[in-house]
Amino acid sequence: MNRHELVIRSGTVIDGTGQPRFTADVAVDNGRISAVGRVEGRGHREVNADGLLLAPGFVDIHTHYDGQAAWDKHLAPSSWHGVTTAVIGNCGVGFAPVLPHNQQRLIELMEGVEDIPGTALHEGLPWTWESFPQFLDFLDTLPRDIDLGTQVPHAAMRVHAMGERAVAREPANADEIAQMARIAGEAIRAGALGFSSSRHINHKSIRGEPVPTLRAETDELVAIARAVGKEGGVLQFVSDQLHKQEELDLLERLGRESGALVSISVAQFDGRPDMWKDTLAHCAQAAQRGVTLRGQVAARAVGLLLGLDVTLNPFLYSPAYRAIKDLPLAERVARMRDPQVRRAIIEGNQVDKKGLLGSRMIDSFDGMFRLGTPPNYEPDPSTSVGATAARESRSPLEVVYDWLLEDDGRALIYTPSLNWSGKNLDVVREMLLNPFAIPGLSDGGAHVGSICDVSFPTTLLQWWGRDRPHGRIDLETLIERQCRATAHAVGLTDRGVILPGAKADLNLIDFDNLRLHAPQVVRDLPAGGRRLMQRADGYRHTFVSGIEIMRDGEATGALPGRLVRGRQPIIRETANGSLHQP
């Protein structure tokens, strides 16, 4: 009788293909699934999965662990939420290629665009590379819990090729374009999954300078896209110009010229609440013309977290608050409970609309809600700060002041912005069910003091699959989207399904007890940097290549994760449901 390395018994299998769930055993050997069904042979280790969901590991294609991957063996909090493969290098920012005199520029870009403390990056990055292949070699030497894929970032390429002319956003000349195309092609050959770029005006360095790639011209983008496509890579873009037909046409042209899949960040904006529909409609039309465009969409609204121990709160520009803002939290809370200090902070409050990123939202009281424990990401509009103040005949500043002091000053206030024009998440449901959309935008590793969306995979299952009062989505669809669809979008066709031959990245989930915790502030970044972290209950076991990395929310200490170099072999289903590599 065969002896397997691992056998998971009697799990309720949702295999990532979209087919209905079924009960089965799963055997694992040599890091791959070797059998699904009734497994007669015993395992060196056996796990009883009776009553548990058995799903593929989640593939998160939009993270920013570019810095954390250099100093941390654990890509948490993603690994706390069932993620077994994460992709970095999104939005055109990253740390390679780089010349020594440009290192500070790349840190300033990452700090400004993705809200990762520059002090942590300065202390945590060893800068033992210059070229992108050298960066991959560095990443390849580090053990970690989950697999890591990379993309080559446009901003780093542009600064490398053009120097200060890139920072000034000047057009690239023919030699510079050729150099960037060579860098991109070299990166894909070395193992990058693709290329990313930002064309968004809100993406700025910590100095307030727009990203160097903001309005890169067509000839530059086409040359890079061709080089990426020739080597089998994909393309990722974020743009503030999707309301313009010429921008959509440009993205389609890049897909056509390269033959590559192009993914585009898609969300609902208040000023143009139906623009997302037009973008996804263009993706559908492009498909008829033989071009593959996909919209990356979020699992809920995207919004800021306000509080006394995070980056933003409504009193940042009150002189009385600024006088105490650097005190330790407990001491600051004690001072703020003094009636005279309270009066001075509230009466002296003002808002600098040109200040910190997100400061335009810190007086939007009709859009502020207690996040609560457990966190509520679809709050009733009648529970906002503004509505509460009106009911209680108080000023909104008085209400939000009291809310900030709850839980000894650790309370968080949620301000949903994107995907919130209808004051509910109905639009998110439409996006998630659109065949030309894929889940993404979790930004794991980024926005560490203001946003914590890394729990998107858990939101998909808990909120959309179980808890939402209406409009729930079946788990088979949600898991197919978060596993196979995301994996295939970046060329990783060896994972995201539970079929013989697939990579043994697996989650065993106690679905009835799946629960998100509220985010909490920890100070574990290099140089004592602060970040928001968020846990979840219900993930009983998470395996990467058949090795358990998480058990009941705690790391096992195993580090089977590897750098994923390039597209993985295409795996096709055979007539009997097994897989093979042609």
DSSP string, 44-98: EEEEE-TTSEEEEPEEE--B-TTTHHHH-SS-TTGGGGTEEEEE--GGG--S-S-
Average pLDDT over residues 501-510: 97
Contact, 534 vs 452, CB < 8 A? yes
Boundary of a domain, candidates 418, 438, 460: 418
Shared domain check, 447 and 384? no
Examine residue 516 and state whether it is found in any structural domain, yes or no. yes
Burial bucket for residue 253 (CB in 10 Å: 0-12, 13-18, 19+): middle
pLDDT in tens, 92-107: 999 999 999 999 999 9
More confidently predicted of 419 and 574:
419
Contact, 308 vs 314, CB < 8 A? no
Residues whose CB falls within 8 Å of the CB of residue 138, separated by 6 or more in sequence, listed in order: 70, 126, 128, 129
Examine residue 582 and state whether it is found in any structural domain, yes or no. no
Q: 456-488 as b/e, with b when 16 or more CB fall inside 10 Å?
A: bbbbbbbbbbeeeeeeebebbbbbbbbbbbbbb
Shared domain check, 432 and 332? no
Question: Which residue type occupies 188?
Answer: I
Quick one: angle between helices 329-336 and 339-347, nearest 10?
90
pLDDT in tens, 451-465: 999 999 999 999 999
Three-class SS state of 358: coil
Shared domain check, 332 and 192? no
When pLDDT is cut at 50, 70 and 90, the band that residue 447 belongs to is very high
pLDDT in tens, 152-208: 999 999 999 999 999 999 999 999 999 999 999 999 999 999 999 999 999 999 999
Residue ranges in 260-372 assigned as alpha helix (H): 275-288, 319-322, 329-336, 339-347
Residue 350 has pLDDT above 80, yes or no: no
228: its two tokens: 């990426």
Shared domain check, 206 and 115? yes
Most distant pair of Cα atoms in the chain: their distance: 78
Shared domain check, 319 and 218? no
Examine residue 525 and state whether it is found in any structural domain, yes or no. yes
Q: Cα–Cα distances in Å, from 236 out to 19, 62, 258?
A: 29, 9, 13
CATH number at 537 reads: 2.30.40.10
Q: How far apart are CA 122 and CA 131, in angstroms?
A: 19
When pLDDT is cut at 50, 70 and 90, the band that residue 572 belongs to is low
Output the pLDDT for position 359: 56
Examine residue 7 and state whether it is found in any structural domain, yes or no. yes
Residue 222 has pLDDT above 70, yes or no: yes
Shared domain check, 346 and 290? no
Say what the pTM is: 0.95
Where are the strands (E) in 69-201, listed by range?
83-87, 147-149, 151-153, 194-199
Q: How far apart are CA 186 and CA 96, in angstroms?
A: 12
Contact, 85 vs 145, CB < 8 A? no
Shared domain check, 239 and 310? no
Q: Tokens 């077994």 appear where?
A: 84
Contact, 383 vs 326, CB < 8 A? no
CATH number at 444 reads: 3.20.20.140
Q: State CA 198 to chain mean position distance.
A: 15
Shared domain check, 399 and 513? no
Shared domain check, 310 and 228? no
When pLDDT is cut at 50, 70 and 90, the band that residue 57 belongs to is very high
Examine residue 237 and state whether it is found in any structural domain, yes or no. yes
Contact, 521 vs 117, CB < 8 A? no
Residue 574 has pLDDT above 70, yes or no: no
Boundary of a domain, candidates 363, 387, 418: 418
Boundary of a domain, candidates 363, 398, 418: 418
Examine residue 548 and state whether it is found in any structural domain, yes or no. yes
Shared domain check, 555 and 441? no
Return the DSSP state at 204.
B
CB atoms within 10 A of CB 350: 10
Q: How far apart are CA 296 and CA 196, in angstroms?
A: 13
Shared domain check, 234 and 89? yes
Examine residue 340 and state whether it is found in any structural domain, yes or no. yes
Domain span at 515: 3-56+499-577
* Strand 506-509, strand 539-544: pairing: antiparallel
Contact, 131 vs 166, CB < 8 A? no
Q: How far apart are CA 198 and CA 200, in angstroms?
A: 6
- Which of 320, 312, 420, 400 has its CA nearest to residue 359? 312
Burial bucket for residue 290 (CB in 10 Å: 0-12, 13-18, 19+): exposed
Question: What's the structural domain count of the chain?
Answer: 3
Where are the strands (E) in 168-306, listed by range?
194-199, 234-239, 262-265, 293-297, 302-306
Examine residue 354 and state whether it is found in any structural domain, yes or no. yes
Shared domain check, 193 and 290? yes
When pLDDT is cut at 50, 70 and 90, the band that residue 358 belongs to is low
